[in-house]
Amino acid sequence: MMHPAMTQLYALQFLDAVPDTLSPWRRDWLLLEDSMTKRFEAWCRKVSVTVLFEGWVSYAQVGEEAAFLPEESQYWLREIVLSGDNVPWLTGRTVVPASTLSGPELALQQLGTTPLGRYLFTASEMTRDFIQPGRSGDLWGRRSRLRLSGKPLLLTELFLPASPLYQEEKKWSGV
Ligand code: PHB
- The CATH number for 27's domain is 3.40.1410.10
Atom of ligand 1 nearest to the CA of 35: 10
- Could you tell me the residue range of the domain that residue 65 belongs to? 23-165
pLDDT-based confidence at residue 1 (cuts at 50, 70, 90): low
Query: Bridge-partner residues for 53, per DSSP?
Result: 79
- pLDDT at position 175 is 46
Q: Is residue 172 part of a domain?
A: no
Residue 19 makes CB contacts below 8 A (sequence gap 6+) with: none
- pLDDT at position 123 is 66
- pLDDT at position 45 is 95
Q: Is residue 98 part of a domain?
A: yes
- Nearest 5°: the CA angle 56, 59, 62 is 75
Q: Is residue 120 part of a domain?
A: yes
Provide long-range contacts, Cβ within 8 A and 24+ apart, for 37-45.
Answer: 37/82, 37/115, 37/116, 37/117, 37/118, 38/117, 38/121, 40/82, 40/84, 40/89, 40/90, 40/164, 43/84, 43/164, 44/84, 44/85, 45/85
Q: Is residue 11 part of a domain?
A: no
Number of structural domains the chain divides into: 1
Q: For all residues of the chain together, what is the average pLDDT?
A: 91
Kindly list the protein residues whose Cβ atom lies closer than 6 A to any atom of ligand 1.
36-37, 49, 78, 80, 82, 90, 92, 94, 115-117, 157
Best residue among 3, 9, 36 to mutate for probing ligand 1's pocket (most ligand atoms within 8 Å of CB) is 36
- pLDDT at position 120 is 78
Q: Is residue 6 part of a domain?
A: no
Q: Is residue 123 part of a domain?
A: yes
Q: Is residue 158 part of a domain?
A: yes
Q: Is residue 72 part of a domain?
A: yes
Burial class (CB in 10 A: 0-12, 13-18, 19+), 57: middle
